[in-house]
Amino acid sequence: MTTKESDCKITEPINLKKHWNSAYIDKGTDELGWYERSAQKTIDLINKTGVSKGASILNVGVGTSVIIDELLEEGFTNLIANDFSDEALTKVKSRLSDKAEEVMFIADDLLNATTLNKLTDIEVWNDRAVLHFFLKEDEQTTYFNLLKQVVKQNGFVIIAVFSLDGAKKCCGLPLQLYDEKMLLEKLGKDFKLIESFKHTFINPNGGERPYVYTLFQRINK
């Protein structure tokens, strides 16, 4: 398994906003190291929740992934697409064309939210490949505090991140690796694990990318 990740150029000191915008400017969606042709694994977990097609689904750190496209095709009508990168969201809007009007786009920082923190009653929080970039304890605490603030009673949380045997870096940045027990500990006693599984996809460079996919439900608020 190749663990080297050279999809983005790093300059010191790192300006993360500029870093992620540059990543999406410099390469096409299907050239990015985290690109996966289909978001079917996530779609399957969302369908497993049994939420209605009108359920509020917050997709954090969507980048330019096809998850929004596929959820629209599935008939979901209350989608929120968030990313730190304005460039990523612009690309998604362009790709969706007129359908972009059916989606709420929010460019915001999960660690310093100014808009996301105003959301309420989110029925599904969906994160593929964001949490593992937060290395510091206070960053992780901020992430989970925001999640707990916006997800409603009996709502669901989907987190897909690099597993313990996954890559050590992505886009030139170091990662925190997880398993389902570590994620459950971060969420706390108000959440229960519904399902978890490992999934390895092959990125455009031919590298194996082992992930752990998890589905949780909030049982107390």
| pLDDT tens profile 62-93 | 988 899 999 999 999 999 999 988 899 999 99
Condensed to tens digits (0 to 9), the pLDDT of residues 38-66 reads 899 999 999 999 999 999 999 999 988 89
Answer whether 59's CB lies under 8 Å from 82's CB.
yes
SS3 state at 114: coil
What pTM was computed for the model? 0.88
Closest to 156 measured CA to CA, from 130, 115, 121: 121
If you average pLDDT over residues 185-204, what whole number do you get?
93
Give the pair of three-digit tokens for residue 97.
């064309």
Closest to 128 measured CA to CA, from 8, 211, 5: 211
Contacts of residues 91-96 at CB distance under 8 Å and 24 or more positions apart, as own/partner, are 91/24, 91/29, 91/64, 92/62, 92/64, 92/68, 95/64, 95/69, 96/68, 96/69, 96/72
